[in-house]
Amino acid sequence: MLQSRGIVAFEINITAIEATKKLSQNRDTKNYQNIILELEKKVQPEAIVIA
């Protein structure tokens, strides 16, 4: 069986996009408090749970 050499093109059909957010890490207490306050202002229940 022969193997192709070089670049092989292919196509992918996108069926879904899932966005993620990185939670804040390595912050001081003041920054954590500000993050919590901002999350609590959101209307999404998930943001309040994270806060």
- pLDDT (0 to 100) of residue 30: 92
Residue 50: CB atoms within 10 Å: 14
Tokens 């192709």 — which residue? 4
Cα separation values, 8 from 3, 5, 34, Å: 11, 8, 49
The predicted pLDDT at position 3 comes to 66
Q: What is the pLDDT of residue 4?
A: 64
* pLDDT tops 80 at residue 27: yes
Amino acid, single-letter form, for residue 8: V
Q: What's the pTM? A: 0.50
> Nearest 5 degrees, angle CA 22-CA 25-CA 29?
135
Would you state the pLDDT for residue 37?
A: 92
